[in-house]
Amino acid sequence: MRHWLLFIGIITALSVSDAAAAQTVTTPSEPGLPKRPGTCVFTHIKSVEERLSDGNNQWVAGSGSAVALTNGGYQVSYDQLPEVDSAHSGDRVMMCLVALPTDCPTGDDRGKVYTTTDLRTMKSWTLPDSEHECGGA
């Protein structure tokens, strides 16, 4: 019986220490953006934003949703998306590249489309990395 209680105590201690460690562990280096359609990376929400800000660095409410990720990713929409708006800074997400732009001028790689899933809310959104595709305004 004593061995059984010791075993339960060890498992409980490991569970508690794993939970505490999970709250404090940070990714040593971000994975970068997925490079090929169909590939995904895990990263975190850096900030949830509106699409536009005024001249005083204040967000313009209702101007569309935008999200910045700690791996350098950015997604933006002219629409206000509740899925994005419910995300919080620090949320762990899975970001997958779903489409690449084609026939782009040299050096203009705007228009990549990503599907991102917030692992806290389990809500997903599919948005481009820019308001305009390559070669656009």
5-23 residue pLDDT tens:
333 343 444 443 344 444 4
The pair of structure tokens assigned to 86 is: 């419910």
Residue 133 lies in a domain: no
Report how many domains make up the chain.
1
Length of the chain: 137
Across-strand partners of 45? 69
What letter would DSSP give residue 104?
A: P
Residue 72 lies in a domain: yes
Instruction: Specify the pLDDT at position 134.
Output: 74
Enter the pTM of the model: 0.72
The pair of structure tokens assigned to 124 is: 């997903």
Domain encompassing residue 112:
32-128
